Chains A and B, each alone.
Chain A
Amino acid sequence: MTNTSMAAAGPAAADVLDYPMPRTVGCPFDPPPVLRELQAEAPITRVRLWDGSTPWLITRYDDQRALLAGPRISSDITHPHFPNTSPGFNERRRQARTFISMDDPEHARLRRMVTASFAIKRVEALRQAIQKIVDALIDDLLAGPKPADLVKAFALPVPSLVICELLGVPYADHGFFQANSKVLIKRDTPLDEALAAQQRLLGYLDRLVGDKLASPGDDLLSQVAGRVKTGDLSRHDAAAMGQLLLVAGHETTANMIALGTLTLLQHPRQLAILREADDPKVIAGAVEELLRYLTIVHNGRRRVALEDIEIGGQVIRAGDGVILANDIGNRDPAAFGDPDRLDIGRDARRHVTFGFGVHQCLGQNLARVELQVVYGTLYRRIPTLRLAADLGQVPFKHDGLVYGVYELPVTW
């Protein structure tokens, strides 16, 4: 490992870079280029966050997997040195703590309460219902005015309808939960606004848990409520888990639908291959490649070291913050050849878009089926789909916890 000035920089050094970095204007699909430089020259280096703290930034794919796979780093959000994404972030998560902010064994105990619903066979069984949702929304889109905003008309409704069905949340309330989710997923939302939005969501989920306790249905929130009845889960924790599933269940996939569509529209040859493919494996492969290429969790996965860790010629001390920049990890030339090229024909399945280790995304297989149905249907049903604005006018979620577009004006 070369010991460059950046790699050797201590917390007080003037050349410690601020994180996250901005993307290059005109390159909205690529990670900030400075991450590529760090990956090549200082793959384990300190960066400075908004609060002045200087956690370690891990940019290489192999290092990210090695760290995420083991118990040496912690997801415990109550740790005083846990890298804070924004003024409101850690506090908000502490007040509605779920298994994503905990370590084993409590993490595993809580997560296993909901894993059955996300097993391969269970999400495959939803494929036809998802297809019907997608078909109906495309019918409505085609019958409506153009240009249309693909986010509002399609990208948000698809996963919202699916997670509502799975959880047993009334879709009629989508205006309420989407509006409050939108507050939570902006990186720079002030603490009081974030907490207020979270309180509204928690109150809503608490009422639903109460309903499910009184008259359980055949849905996931009823199962979670059942754990309250058996004493395995507090009512507050049940509402927090419901909130996590509802917000994570629609926001992330919605961003992949809209941003993935925009990406394909900018890569017409790749889009043509996808549109003309008869083999479901081609569509599934395109989903994995777009997940890799876009890596919408673009503020890094955050952890804190539980012990001294020697890695890549550096020593991360117990108690140091650690950030895994999976967006650049998925563009590591040591893991993926020609990594900045979108190639839906490559085998991208080992990407770290959903993370790695025990915290790997619970909903990943549901997201896969949703995206396979969407990418396999939308461009065939609307072969003339095109952007109804200049790329430069599209509002990207640079300030989002998860990357995407706020709106996507399209016509056909």
Chain B
Amino acid sequence: MKVTVDQDKCISSGQCVLAVPDVFDQREEDGIVVLLNPSPPTGLAEDVKQAAARCPARAITVED
């Protein structure tokens, strides 16, 4: 699984952090997404997909 994020699209909603805090974080200065792990383990695959689906700005892309 390969994850990418688009910081220009991100609106700092934090929904990804709520879904998978091991994979996503937010920048201190404006809450914009920070990708902690672009290749999360299979065990987190479902949560990462949920994070992408719930992102209001469609800023998360997941490739299998």
Contact = CB atoms under 8 A, between A and B. Distances in A.
A119 B14 contact: yes
B11 A358 contact: yes
Interface string A95-116: 0000000000000100110011
B63 interface: no
A119 B33 CA distance: 10
A116 B56 contact: no
B18 A120 contact: yes
A356 B12 contact: no
B30 A356 contact: no
B45 interface: no
A121 interface: yes
B64 interface: no
Interface string B1-27: 000000000011110011001000010
Nearest to A68: B56
Contacts of A116: 12, 28-31
A131 interface: no
A350 to B, nearest CB: 6
Which of B26, B28, B29 has the most A CB atoms < 10 Å from its CB? B26
A364 B31 CA distance: 13
Interface in A103-148: 108, 111-112, 115-116, 118-122
A360 B13 contact: yes
Contacts of B58: 69
Which size bracket describes the interface of A in this complex?
Answer: 20 to 34
B49 to A, nearest CB: 12
A364 to B, nearest CB: 7
A356 B54 CA distance: 9
Nearest to A113: B30
A11 B30 CA distance: 44
A200 interface: no
B30 A112 contact: yes
A62 to B, nearest CB: 12
B31 A115 contact: yes
Interface string A320-358: 000000000000000000000000000001100001111
B54 A350 contact: yes
Interface in A355-412: 355-358, 360, 364-365
Given A112-B30, A115-B30, A115-B31, A120 B14 contact: yes
Classify the interface of chain B: helix, strand, loop or mixed: loop
B57 interface: yes
Residue of B12, B17, B30, B54 ringed by the most chain A CB atoms within 10 A? B12
A120 B56 contact: no
Given A69-B58, A357-B56, A120 B17 contact: yes
Given A119-B26, A365-B14, A358 B31 contact: no
B62 interface: no
B33 to A, nearest CB: 10
B56 A360 contact: yes
A358 B56 contact: yes
Interface-central residue, B13, B21, B28, B58, by most chain A CB under 10 Å: B13
B25 to A, nearest CB: 8
Nearest to B16: A120
A111 B54 contact: no
A112 B11 CA distance: 8
A364 B13 contact: yes
Nearest to B8: A108
A121 B26 contact: yes
B54 A115 contact: no
Interface centre among A68, A358, A364 (most CB of B within 10 A): A358
24 contacts: A69-B58, A108-B11, A112-B32, A115-B31, A116-B29, A116-B30, A118-B12, A118-B14, A118-B31, A119-B12, A119-B26, A119-B31, A120-B18, A120-B26, A121-B26, A122-B31, A349-B50, A349-B54, A350-B54, A357-B56, A358-B11, A358-B57, A360-B56, A365-B13
Given A115-B11, A358-B57, 16 more contacts: A69-B58, A112-B30, A112-B32, A116-B12, A116-B28, A116-B29, A116-B30, A116-B31, A119-B12, A119-B26, A120-B17, A349-B54, A355-B56, A358-B11, A360-B57, A365-B18
Interface of B: 11-14, 17-18, 21, 26, 28-32, 50, 53-54, 56-58
